[in-house]
Amino acid sequence: MTRVCSLLPSATEIVADLGLIDSLVAVSEECKWPAEVQGKPRVTAARVDSANLSSFEIDRVVRASIAEGRPLYAVDADLIAELQPDVLITQDLCTVCAVSSGDLATACPVGAEIISLDPRTLAEVADSVRLLADRLGVSEAGRRIANEMDAKVEAVRTRTAGRPKRRVFVAEWLDPPFTAGHWVPEMVDAAGGVDVLGVAGEPSVTTTWERVLEAGPELIIAAPCGYDERGAAQRAADLDLPVPVAPVDADSYFSRPGPRLADGVERLAQILAG
């Protein structure tokens, strides 16, 4: 059995969906779903304690860390070596969201393979499922899961076809506001909306609430990266905007490039139809 160390929450979810949860010998601090992975050894930890910081303070600390070249995550190289994984899964899409391959320069055991998953679109997310399944020897399961994801998204797109597109702004951070990036604008489109500032396939970028309102959204989707719906609601409570704000569980259904993005599309369609 291939011994897998997943440093990426979405990859942990994919490995579990593939029926290989017993292959996981270690995960990251952020890997919390499915529940069965919570007892696995954790080999990374965030260096920024965000629990008692405001959104603005978190953004300031993260920017300062990046500017000074300080890593945002601590990697337990000794524990990784002790666990002897055959494969380490990481990413290079966002240095803020999870451990990147550069963080593993001194923590990768000799002979271990590093797989970096960096999808930027819904199609590439599905492809990453197939890729990981191929590398772990369960290609058929990967094709099935990816096809189910695609089918669920297309079913929502079909249901919303012909309806007037609602103008929305999906905020991936709230203070300062960040536009939606990568696959999220596609999710909005499939759900029957148009993201007024997000660009499909491109990174999220910082903006201002003045510019957001100038773009004329009918609705704000509060989807701060790393937070569930309750956390998003708490972070959005101080917003004073002349537009309705709908908090969502970004941590489960929007931020992580895995099969549950299709469930996020369904949730968006429900919100936009309301």
Topology given in CATH for the domain delimited by 146-273? Rossmann fold (3.40.50)
Alpha carbon separation from 53 to 16, 62, 142 (Å, rounded): 32, 12, 39
Q: Which of 24-38, 98-112, 253-267 has the lowest mean pLDDT?
A: 98-112
What is the reported pLDDT for 48? 65
What is the reported pLDDT for 22? 95
Highest mean pLDDT among 97-106, 107-116, 135-144: 135-144
Higher-scoring residue by pLDDT: 104, 124: 124
What is the reported pLDDT for 81? 87
List, in sequence order, every residue forming a beta bridge with 132; answer none if it has no partner: none
- As a whole number, mean pLDDT of residues 96-107 equals 54
Q: Which of 47-51, 101-105, 132-136, 191-195 has the lowest mean pLDDT?
A: 101-105
Topology given in CATH for the domain delimited by 4-118? Rossmann fold (3.40.50)
147 pLDDT above the threshold of 70: yes
170-221 pLDDT tens trace: 999 999 999 999 999 999 999 999 999 999 999 999 999 999 999 999 999 9
CA of residue 52 relative to chain centroid, distance? 22
Closest by Cα among 262, 28, 4 to 16: 4
Q: Could you tell me the pTM of the whole model? A: 0.90
Neighbours of 250 (CB within 10 A): 26
Where do you find CATH 3.40.50.1980 in the chain?
A: 146-273
pLDDT range class, residue 58, cuts 50, 70, 90 = low
